[in-house]
Structure 1
Amino acid sequence: MPRSVPPTDDVLARRRRVGDQIRAARLERNLTQERVALDSGMDRPSYNRIEQGHVSPLLDSLIRISDAIGVPLSQLVRE
């Protein structure tokens, strides 16, 4: 699929669900966005865009986020 093709509505909805799962895991552990962003090596606005589902994170970013929150990667991306 060419890079210029915009994501479908289904893909956008699933991206938002992943962001919701990341947020829920972070809040369960009483962590701030700032703390998770710093511990995962990104700035807070970039992390916020992932939580909001506005961007599609790289797998490397998801791995660092799961490590920073202290949950398995599978918990963040389950369907």
Structure 2
Amino acid sequence: MMGSGGPQKGNPMLSTTIGVNVRKRRLELSWSQERLAYESGLSVRTVSAIECGYANPTADVIEAIARALGVPAAWLVG
């Protein structure tokens, strides 16, 4: 689902944008990272890494988070 936590691969700017948008929407919903992890079927560690911009999430992971947060996947990457 994501890298091993080592150096980030892919587009760091996109990963940062996704992380900022995930955190923004999660906080709008007053959800913890644990709640988002549960709702999206991901681990808390993965959610945290995405929000911090350390992860390079796959399209499937982006879709799972978007569904859980009730936003289009394009909103997360925009």
| % identity of equivalent residues | 32
1:61 corresponds to: 61
Gaps of 5+ in 2: 1-7
- The structure whose Rg is larger is 1
TM-score, with length taken from structure 1: 0.80
2:49 corresponds to: 49
Number of paired residues?
71
2:40 corresponds to: 40
Quick one: higher RCO (CA 8 Å, sep 6+), 1 or 2? 2
Gaps of 5+ in 1: 1-5
Cα distance in 1 for partners of 2:63, 2:50 equals 13
Counterpart contact for 2:17–2:76, Cα < 8 Å: no
Cα distance in 2 for partners of 1:76, 1:13 equals 13
TM-score, with length taken from structure 2: 0.81
1:16 corresponds to: 16
- Taking only aligned residues, the RMSD between alpha carbons, in angstroms, comes to 1.6
Give 4+ residue runs of structure 1 displaced > 2 Å after superposition: none
Cα distance in 2 for partners of 1:14, 1:42 equals 20
